[in-house]
Amino acid sequence: MECVESIVASVVVSIVTGIFSGLVSGWFIMNYSEYKSLRDDALKYIGKIGYMQRDNKVLIYFPKDEGALLSLSSALIRKGHNGIANSINKVESGLGRYKVKAPDDLQDVCDFLNEVQKEIRLSRPNFHGLIFGRNVNFKEIWKKLIWI
CA 108 to chain centre: 26
pTM (2 decimals)? 0.76
- CA–CA separation, 55 vs 70, rounded Å? 30
- CA–CA separation, 132 vs 2, rounded Å? 42
- CA–CA separation, 114 vs 122, rounded Å? 12
What are 112-147's pLDDT values in tens digits?
888 989 999 998 888 877 887 776 666 676 676 776
Instruction: Classify the phi-psi angles of 126: left when phi > 0, otherwise alpha if psi is within -120 to 50, otherwise beta.
Output: beta
Return the DSSP state at 100. S
Domain positions in the chain: 2-147
Q: What share of the chain in percent tops pLDDT 90?
A: 18
Three-state SS at 56: coil
